[in-house]
Structure 1
């Protein structure tokens, strides 16, 4: 890990041009970055993460002017949204240009594009002057990294350099909005809400594939139209190795105590329920507001995963719209938790 000054950014550019992988900070999570036009380098991302080859990557751009290098038939709504939210945590799914590698798109006719809102990422992208493919810098399906130390813990020497840009401000992945079909559809919720988007384009996008946080089932709220595969849409994702379950506020302390009574070590992530002062429980209080909760989410899950607990119990979140992206992440984390990494 190195502090992200001008000299280190220059070194990072050289490494990218040489086909190497680096760890890159963004405002959402840290990315595992490669030259998006270098197929061999992109393939290193899949190998380092253990990521399925048909799972598409998001291409990060220096600015909105680069969009036309990567996408064709760009709808007016994409331009308006880019002006409103870029740099920022919004990924647009658009029809790809012919020169975009299949390795980036998962063989689809679409590509995901965004401009990150982080000074180090923007400086790197401007110096590189091209697109950088950068999924989260962690083993596939595991908890996303929000500090440079998380990247080092996850990937170690699989990356040539990790630029340290501090803790990520947003803390969860970008909203993914599909504009490649007639109707706009959110394929992954994030900090940019459906209401935010509707305010800019004058119509509210549909929402697809929200995970129910108690059952792990997907609820498809979009029309039944074939949509592109996108990052973070699998039912099991963002998951700790420790089994994780979600519990309603009224039952949180009881469920945790019952598990502990069976001789298990239990870690609890709560945001509203008061600490029961049960010495058998490792109790972690998360921020009570959705912005603060999202900022701390992955760091909290990583800490509890590393605590030696046998189970993690997370207090269920409010049903209100502003909590939707975090409910999505926790629902997928619960589905994927407790599974061993493939080697």
Structure 2
């Protein structure tokens, strides 16, 4: 397959919309990460996403819409809390898991009776949805298990020759996937942390917000479950190199990382170190996936990363760090 590289001009976006409407696949930019899109209501088209990514069939996709009114096309229940969140955070990096209509195919939802829906805060993404004339199912535009793509070059590396087209744009501004919140229970529950935090949602709704208790915890071996949101079950975000996260007081972490680096380099290993300011978690969110991709390009043998505070956006970045490292944490 020849993958076309398209621009963001009106003519190319119209062509991209026609590809989606005809059952094809288009990678497109959002504010979070690049998405790999297909017509969410066409089961054959959505199956192509799973084939292109090598994605497990029970890992649900997120459906992207261009305006709030399209939510009713996907769910039979829109609650006041859902309306409040939509007004506050859409367009933006928030996905709501809601009861799905029968018109949403099983393949789109991983055979669940719920569907994740969001409205991206990216002009090109919304223009593509409008040009296609349908909601677009779109997980991240990477090979399954690899770090999520935040630049068009990342997408080309993984998807060239696998999909119909890629829309070239500037790097994603946020850099980690959307917050996913389950709106089907008595209290909303965060299933995947993101740029919009638990505290943000609690302030908006004026109520307690639950957090899935398995987040940022090493999965128990042999325990099976059906993931309600992407990123909950399978290996994600993994670089080629092994990765160690160092956790503790800042000075102790820096000393331990320097010692580990010196020892590894004395053995002839290529070492990549990832450190972020403990306060600047937004920069960490923006740069982390790109840093993993760069380590792969540099043929790193080992990645050494400093843990972030597990609160606010730091909790969200640590969620990705822990999965990337296979929960390989060294406490110092």
Does 1:299 pair with 2:280? no
Give the corresponding residue for 2:233.
234
Please give the secondary structure, in 1, of the residue aligned with 2:52. Answer: helix
Partner SS for 1:211:
coil
Distance 1:241 1:182 in 2: 41
Give the whole-Å Cα distance in 2 for the aligned partners of 1:336 and 1:138. 21
Structure 1 42/150 Cα, relative in aligned 2: closer, same or farther at 3 Å? same
Gapped runs of 5+ residues in structure 2?
A: 248-252
Q: Secondary structure of 2:175's match?
A: coil
Q: What is aligned with 2:320? A: 329
1:262 and 2:253 matched: no
> Which residue is 2:145 aligned to?
141
Rounded to whole Å, the distance in 1 between the matches of 2:196 and 2:310 is 17
Give TM-score, length-normalised by structure 1: 0.87
Find the counterpart in structure 2 of residue 253 from structure 1. Answer: 258
Q: CA 1:312–1:59 in 2, change beyond 3 Å: closer, same or farther? A: same
Identify the residue that residue 199 of structure 1 maps to in structure 2.
Answer: 203
SS in 2 for 1:126: helix
Q: CA deviation at 1:320?
A: 3.4
1:158 maps onto 2:149 in alignment: no
What is the root-mean-square deviation in Å for CA atoms of aligned residues? 1.8
* CA distance in structure 2 between the partners assigned to 1:302 and 1:288 by the alignment: 23
Shift of 1:234: 2.4
Structure 1: state its 5+ residue gaps: 220-225, 273-286, 338-343
Instruction: Give deviations 1:257-314, integer Å, cap 9, x for gaps.
Output: 2222333221111225xxxxxxxxxxxxxx9611111111111110012112211111
For the 8 Å contact 2:17–2:133, the answer to whether it is kept is: no
Q: Secondary structure at the match of 1:246?
A: strand
Q: Superposed, which structure 2 residues align to 1:60-99 within 5 Å? A: 60-99=64-103
Aligned pairs for 1:23-102 within 5 A: 23-102=27-106
Structure 1 CA distance for aligned equivalents of residues 121 and 129 of structure 2: 11
Tell me if structure 2 keeps the 8 A contact 1:195–1:204. no
Q: Figure out how many residues of one structure are paired with residues of the other and give that number.
A: 313
* Residue in structure 1 matched with residue 250 of structure 2 by the alignment: none
Contact 1:235-1:335 within 8 A present in 2 as well: no
Alignment deviations for residues 113-153 of structure 1 (CA, whole Å, 9 cap, x no partner): 00000010011112223210010000111100011111110
